[in-house]
Structure 1
Amino acid sequence: MKSHSSTLLAEVRTFRQNHPDVRYVDLIALDIPGHFYGKRYPVEMLEKVAAGSPLKLPQNAVLLGAQGGLFKIGDYCFNDGDPDANRRLVPGTLKPVSWEAQPLGQMLITSDGTEAPIEFEPREVLAKVLERLQHKGIHPVVAFELEFYLFDKKLENGLPQFARDPLSDDADDQPNLHIERLSRFSEVLDDMAQTAKAQGIDITVITAEIGPGQFEINFGHCDDGLRAADWAALFCRSTRGVALKHGYRASFMAKPYLQFPGSGMHVHVSLYDAAGNNLLAAHQQQALRHAVAGCLELLPHCMPIFSPNHNAFRRLGGTVNAATRASWGFEDRDACVRIPESDPRNLRIEHRLASADANPYLVLAAILVGLEHGLETKREPIAPLNEDRSSGTDFPVEMLDAVRVMQQQPIVRDKLGAEFVDVYCENKRQDHLAFQQEIHAREYRWFL
């Protein structure tokens, strides 16, 4: 514990030396809907926390709904006295914030690794899954890919407007994959990439996607699953900030346009043993087939994680490369689980179902649980799409059905934690019901 505190203290002191103009640091963590919450600390107080002083925030901050409200979930929120819970600083995450008007820092905090971790905190859920896999001699290597849209900074009647082409000042309203779009928006994209790198995020490939103003950024493969999910979460925060600085609005909303492709969170996962052997390549890739079968079996029971809101369900089956059923295939982007072409050393799955606004900690935890289940049960998967284009199993496509299916699945409850599953499903059910408590103009047009 003493060496851990000394490492953190050295990190804070080095940061202060390198950034003497920073007076405050945002201590942040991701809640269930995937929003950051936390506190802004004077940097001198951060030194005391790094040295071992308690860091406490309300436990129920993790339970916030998509709009920040609290729902009654069991005894949480309204019958528990709203207790504080200990958090700790995540080493290596103290970085400068360059997109705010004033110099700031930010640092991740978490309850995992404390004496009483919060069972339903997303980072803690993933930490428990990774710890269990490590005890079994399974070491994941993970890479996220995130799609997002750029919009004009100003909304019109609450609706997003196409991003303005900085060269012509015309709306970038044409769907395409042209490399020229990367050049036209290079100033903001380069700032996003450089800002992410300053946060310690390993940014690799930038792609202009099919939708107008849509882009994808890939991260490097990481042998620390928590760090890989941290990168995805922090990238969303910095990218929104950088976009506003340049006069745009960046959004990871799953389906902002009905007529154009949605935005996904694609996750590449390979599994290795302690000696560095790729477990998925074992026995002439039979282990890969077992892992795929496990993923597909549990996928319908994790839909509230992969599609965490009403809009995310709109993305499924809508246009290009969005699956309508739980399926798999070799080099097939219509599949939920794609097997990219690679050598045995780099053999991996690409899980393509999650929306870009899903919680990266929970998405990765659900994927790993599916892989773990498949390796344990050793079942053969359904036919790949390469052999049968109609292959696949149904999954829920509406939130209330999805939470019922998830809450009743014993394997998911066991491997993700029963307390987490109950809290998460109730949070999503309440959020969905709250979302429906508004009469839209179309209802009046149809039924008045």
Structure 2
Amino acid sequence: MELAEIKAIIERQGIHTVELGFADINGVLRGKRVSARHFLKTAYQGTALARGPLAWDIQCGVYPDTEIANFENGYPDMLARPVLSTFRIVAWRDGCAFVLCDLYDVHGQALEESPREVLKKVVVRAQALGYRPLVGSELEFYLLDGNKQPLFQGVQCYSLYKGAQLEYVIEEMRNGLENFGIEVEAFHLEYGPAQIEVILEYGDALTLADHTVLAKNAIKEIARKHGLYATFMAKPWAEESGCGYHIHQSLWDPDLTGNLFHINEELARHYLAGLLYHTRDFMVLGSPSVNSFKRFQGNSFAPVNVTWATDNRTAAVRSLLGQGNGSRLEHRTGSADANPYLIVAANLAAGLYGIEHKLVPPPITATNACLADAQVLPADLQQALHYLAKNQVAKDYLGEKFIQLFLTLGRHEAALYAAAVTDWERERYLEMI
């Protein structure tokens, strides 16, 4: 989209405010709101803001060990430069438009630590090999009342009757996303009280990640309009299902004339082998919080080990090959609190590594995968960070600067949790010890 076209849309639609947005390391959408006039004046050079969003935790807590921004270097500026092709009208707020931004230093160099830049790097690698990666997102969340409790109790997975009770807000989410330029396949009830899954249309990896970042933020915004909360927390309640983030993926030829997973069975097997080979080491990129790891339990629809199987939701990788142009692999170790750019980048990097090194997958699992004799997934955030830190492939494919920043943030989060005194501890020990 050219700036002249955007200017015409702004004038025709009466747009007075443009949101400039980007995802931080945690996947939280951050940025600035500017007047439409100022946006048109600065669209090419970008808008300056501090690098802090790439160097703080999810609550904007600062810590000293990040090279990109700290008190020693004074938290210098970066430039948020609009990606004009992502400009769109905000459907649920009058007079407002939105555009995604790429992040640059003041000399015009792209910031390697930016999550969107990390994914772009992997996509470029795939393209250089002659592949065009297509990806789909399945993302779960809970819809909560004003007291942050589920809107109904009990499990009614796929129920149209119970779903109709939530349609007053889900309809606005579904139509709002469509009018926002994000194609939605479906919303449906999931396996928890007022738990919902949103499925976005399959598409190019970078576009799909963009859409997923925007969809998460839009769903939360629209819920608040109705006095509700939408949470993508991985495990809000110990006794209820966690919220997963499943990545469907396939490789196509550059012109999208054929699904290479269908055309070339050997290629698909090498890609599958790469996914499995790096599942444990890359897991923290798709399950990045202390809370993420509490959803991985046997017989819970969340995998507990590195397995694969055909159309089997207990395995880490669910194979849906042999389905013509619908052939794909579904990776199921992601949690809903993941940064979409990073979980997609990790999946593609693992699969491409498998192709480049002609890896062979282990034997298929034929039954309940949680009972299989296979490599166990990390038990907690600290262990997952340890595996990532030892993995050189992550640094090669995703960028060493980014990996170091991600590890620093993750270790900070784990340390805060280790030092916290919880309600569980007080209830268990305070009186009786």
- TM-score, scaled to structure 1: 0.90
Inter-CA distance 303–343: structure 2 relative to 1 (3 Å threshold)? closer
Structure 2 equivalent of residue 166 of structure 1: none
- Is the partner of 1:149 in helix, strand or coil? strand
Kindly indicate whether the alpha-carbon contact (under 8 Å) linking 1:93 and 1:200 is maintained by their aligned counterparts in 2: no
Inter-CA distance 73–332: structure 2 relative to 1 (3 Å threshold)? same
Residue 19 (structure 2) pairs with residue 9 (structure 1): no
Structure 2 equivalent of residue 3 of structure 1: none
Kindly indicate whether the alpha-carbon contact (under 8 Å) linking 2:283 and 2:333 is maintained by their aligned counterparts in 1: no
**Which among 149, 157, 180 is matched to residue 161 of structure 1?**
149
Structure 1 equivalent of residue 242 of structure 2: 262
Aligned equivalents of 1:53, 1:111: Cα separation in 2 = 11
User: After the TM superposition, which of the residue ranges 38-47 and 73-82 deviates more from structure 2?
Assistant: 73-82
Kindly indicate whether the alpha-carbon contact (under 8 Å) linking 1:112 and 1:123 is maintained by their aligned counterparts in 2: no
What displacement does 1:124 show? 0.3
Counterpart mapping for 1:5-404 below 5 A: 7-20=1-14, 22-50=15-43, 52-75=44-67, 76-99=69-92, 103-111=95-103, 115-153=108-146, 155=147, 160-163=148-151, 172-177=152-157, 178-222=159-203, 224-274=204-254, 276-283=257-264, 285-317=265-297, 319-340=299-320, 342-386=322-366, 389=369, 390-404=372-386
- Identity within the alignment, %: 30
- Is the partner of 1:329 in helix, strand or coil? strand
Which amino acid is the alignment partner of residue 18 of structure 1? R
- 1:309-345 CA-to-partner distances (Å, cap 9, x unmatched) read 1111101126531000111111001111111265232
Aligned equivalents of 1:396, 1:8: Cα separation in 2 = 47
Which amino acid is the alignment partner of residue 125 of structure 2? R
- 1:72-108 CA-to-partner distances (Å, cap 9, x unmatched) read 22433222231212232122322333545x6432221
Inter-CA distance 63–143: structure 2 relative to 1 (3 Å threshold)? same
What displacement does 1:305 show? 1.1
User: After the TM superposition, which of the residue ranges 414-423 and 268-277 deviates more from structure 2?
Assistant: 268-277
What displacement does 1:414 show? 0.8
Which amino acid is the alignment partner of residue 220 of structure 1? E
What displacement does 1:387 show? 6.4
What displacement does 1:432 show? 2.1
Kindly report structure 1 stretches of 4+ aligned residues shifted beyond 6 Å.
none
Give the alignment's Cα RMSD to 1 decimal.
Answer: 2.0
Inter-CA distance 228–309: structure 2 relative to 1 (3 Å threshold)? same
Unpaired stretches in structure 2, ≥5 consecutive residues: none
What displacement does 1:301 show? 0.9
Which amino acid is the alignment partner of residue 162 of structure 1? P
Kindly indicate whether the alpha-carbon contact (under 8 Å) linking 1:145 and 1:267 is maintained by their aligned counterparts in 2: yes
Aligned equivalents of 2:53, 2:139: Cα separation in 1 = 26
- 1:332-380 CA-to-partner distances (Å, cap 9, x unmatched) read 0111111126523221111111011100000000000011011112122
- 1:137-163 CA-to-partner distances (Å, cap 9, x unmatched) read 11111111111110112x2xxxx3121
User: After the TM superposition, which of the residue ranges 403-412 and 358-367 deviates more from structure 2?
Assistant: 403-412
Kindly indicate whether the alpha-carbon contact (under 8 Å) linking 1:149 and 1:251 is maintained by their aligned counterparts in 2: yes
What displacement does 1:303 show? 2.0
Aligned equivalents of 2:196, 2:110: Cα separation in 1 = 36
Inter-CA distance 245–343: structure 2 relative to 1 (3 Å threshold)? same
Kindly indicate whether the alpha-carbon contact (under 8 Å) linking 2:321 and 2:329 is maintained by their aligned counterparts in 1: no
Kindly indicate whether the alpha-carbon contact (under 8 Å) linking 2:314 and 2:368 is maintained by their aligned counterparts in 1: no
The count of residues paired between Structure 1 and Structure 2 equals 424
What displacement does 1:179 show? 1.7
- Is the partner of 2:291 in helix, strand or coil? helix
Aligned equivalents of 2:301, 2:330: Cα separation in 1 = 13
